[in-house]
Structure 1
Amino acid sequence: MHDHDHSQGHSHGHDHDEGHDHSHVPQVTTRNERKVLLAFAITFSFMLVEAIGGYLSGSLALLADAGHMLTDAGALALSYLAFRFGRRAADQRRSFGYLRLEVVAAFVNALTLFAIVLWIAYEAWHRLTQPPQILAGPMLVIAVTGLLVNLLVLWILNRGDTDHVNIQGATLHVLGDLLGSVGAIVAALIIWLTGWTLVDPILSLLVAILILRSAWFLAKRSLNILLEGAPEHVRPDQIGQHVREEFADEVRRVGHIHVWQITDRRVLATLHVGPSASARIEDLGLRISASLQQRFQIEHSTVALDWSDEMMVCSLSTREAAE
């Protein structure tokens, strides 16, 4: 995490109005929380039904789907807890509050998906060498019910903040589980019509490959945030080029540029600029910050006006820049 120096030794180019809100409390509403909690209750309940049905029918496709639903339930529970804790206000030890918990939850979701893929692959290989007896009738009924349940949960989640990394993590779990239900339905129909039981582990492997793709996408995205990597839509060189072009008459140089994310939607940046002799330095930092917010959606920027023997730090939030 980058430390923004607001010590009294610096001269601030913009006075902070005490009426401004500098608490970095996330904008995620309780609407997302309620939807994730409802999705968890539905998923966990049917997971128990599917696990029992998979055991009694002997279907790996159903057992794999139940195992995936277990991670779905865990993912949704983590998402809910992340939302709850993430709304806690910032304090002296955690100046950005608990916002990163939701990103950690998304990363844990991705790891559980990887674990499920390995389990499905192991069980499928075992069943390919020793095909078990499978009851196609009960398998089909439970698989169709599971598909309907997953469609309901997916509909609930899609009525939330679908661009949020935590909601996306939960949605990817449910999508993978929905594919598992489809695979189980296809396997049950083929077994019922032909008696070919090897289709059960084969389709389970196909579903595992699709789950693996989703897990990789989610892990890559959440890990980039945890490592404070630059967001996809903006890079440090783009910020430098923009400032040099937008303020060509007032800025001689731009350097020490850092851009990162606290959460999926909260982008921060720091940079040093060398003002020219004709620069209007009393509000240069304010104008640069406002320009970065408008061009790159950077919520909070720290612009340091840098001379060889002194530095002026202008720390500005989006709200201040807009005003």
Structure 2
Amino acid sequence: MAHSHAISPSSKNKKKLKQVLALTFLYLIAEVVGGFLTNSLALLADAGHMLTDVGGLVFALIAIYLAERPASPDRTYGYYRAEILAALANAVVLIGISLYILYEAYTRFLDPPEVSSKPMMIVACFGLVVNLAGMFILRKSSDESLNMKGAYFEVLSDMLTSVGVIVAGIIMWTTGWYYADPLLSAAIGLFILPRTWALLKDAVGVLLEGTPADVNTAQLRDTIAAVPGVVDVHDLHVWSLTSGVNAMSVHVVSADGTPPNSVLEQVNDRVKSSYKIVHTTIQVEQEGYTEGETHV
């Protein structure tokens, strides 16, 4: 029997991602130009962050289009993992940029240059408007998938960074204390690193086929064991193909005389309705059947 190709939850939000990408790219150009004209490391540091956001949104869109492609004999699960590879690449680049920002902040602490604070604040205010618009676009869809939630948090952090740049600009404009620029830059770098590490860890976890964070295997096992006619559950595996698209394989032992198709149907219905599981592989066995397994 042919199986339908599950659509990633991110897929229906392509239009929103494109809108946020356009806004983010526009602000990225403004930050780069403004950073060089004002000699502000804070703006250039945030521009580096925005660059990874643009790259992440581009990769996410490409990955969504790839994930929508049907499975083939060579790619039996399709191209779901393209989203995860994009997230992994984004995390690696973002870590590199964060470390570079910290290095540049250190050199400027030694000899802080003069910064044109007024133009810097104008650019940051423009960014604040852009980020607030992006948050409004993504707010409702942020609960639909981890990808969309991640995109929403990226825009949220950008908004907070814009506020920080504005504050640093006010400090330098009113006091002439130019240490505020590298200080804020270092704060941006330190703020990015733990979030990026979490993204990297999640992406690696999916690639290593770890159990999804939103699936409790003990509860899942109990749900399957509660099906009438099931006397044992073993060799249970759950993994993510991409965010919001989980797969499961399991062996269930049925009591003698229990119709295997009935057990199969009920197990399949229960796990799909109660858990975020799209693909299932269920082996129904009779009591007394033994087989070597890699997971208990």
Q: Normalising by the residue count of structure 2, what TM-score does the alignment of the two structures yield? A: 0.89
SS in 1 for 2:252: strand
Letter in 2 for 1:63: L
> Is residue 146 of structure 1 aligned with residue 140 of structure 2?
no
- Give, in angstroms, the shift of residue 130 of structure 1: 1.0
Unaligned runs of 5+ in 2: 292-296
User: Which residue number in structure 2 is paired with residue 232 of structure 1?
Assistant: 213
User: Which residue number in structure 2 is paired with residue 294 of structure 1?
Assistant: 273
Letter in 2 for 1:277: D
User: Which residue number in structure 1 is paired with residue 294 of structure 2?
Assistant: none
- Give, in angstroms, the shift of residue 96 of structure 1: 1.8
CA 1:55/1:204 → structure 2, altered by over 3 Å: closer, same or farther?
same
Pairing partner for 2:65 from 61, 84, 89: 84
Letter in 1 for 2:27: F
User: Which residue number in structure 2 is paired with residue 4 of structure 1?
Assistant: none
Contact 2:250/2:281 (<8 A) preserved: yes
Unaligned runs of 5+ in 1: 1-15, 312-323
Contact 2:31/2:43 (<8 A) preserved: yes
* 1:40-59 aligned within 5 A: 40-59=21-40
User: Which residue number in structure 2 is paired with residue 267 of structure 1?
Assistant: 246
- 1:6-60 Cα offsets, whole Å, 9 max, x none, are xxxxxxxxxx4xxxx6132415476522221222222222212211111111111
Letter in 2 for 1:39: V
| Aligned-partner Cα distance in 2 for 1:143–1:68 | 14
| Aligned-partner Cα distance in 1 for 2:29–2:203 | 30
- Give, in angstroms, the shift of residue 309 of structure 1: 5.3
- 1:165-207 Cα offsets, whole Å, 9 max, x none, are 3323333332332222111101000011111111111122222
SS in 2 for 1:97: coil
User: Which residue number in structure 1 is paired with residue 171 of structure 2?
Assistant: 190
User: Which residue number in structure 1 is paired with residue 264 of structure 2?
Assistant: 285
Identity of aligned residues (%): 36
SS in 2 for 1:55: helix
Of stretches 93-102 and 298-307 in structure 1, the one that deviates more from structure 2 is: 298-307
Of stretches 48-57 and 186-195 in structure 1, the one that deviates more from structure 2 is: 48-57
Q: Normalising by the residue count of structure 1, what TM-score does the alignment of the two structures yield? A: 0.82
SS in 1 for 2:277: coil
> Is residue 124 of structure 1 aligned with residue 92 of structure 2?
no
Contact 1:258/1:270 (<8 A) preserved: yes
Letter in 2 for 1:224: G
> Is residue 113 of structure 1 aligned with residue 85 of structure 2?
no
CA 1:167/1:131 → structure 2, altered by over 3 Å: closer, same or farther?
same
Which 4+ runs in 1 deviate beyond 6 A?
A: none
The count of corresponding residues between Structure 1 and Structure 2 is 290
> Is residue 305 of structure 1 aligned with residue 284 of structure 2?
yes
Two-structure CA RMSD over aligned residues (Å): 2.2
CA 1:119/1:163 → structure 2, altered by over 3 Å: closer, same or farther?
farther
Contact 1:150/1:178 (<8 A) preserved: yes
Contact 1:235/1:259 (<8 A) preserved: no
User: Which residue number in structure 1 is paired with residue 4 of structure 2?
Assistant: 23
Of stretches 46-55 and 210-219 in structure 1, the one that deviates more from structure 2 is: 210-219
SS in 2 for 1:277: coil
> Is residue 101 of structure 1 aligned with residue 89 of structure 2?
no
CA 1:293/1:172 → structure 2, altered by over 3 Å: closer, same or farther?
same
> Is residue 60 of structure 1 aligned with residue 32 of structure 2?
no
CA 1:215/1:44 → structure 2, altered by over 3 Å: closer, same or farther?
same
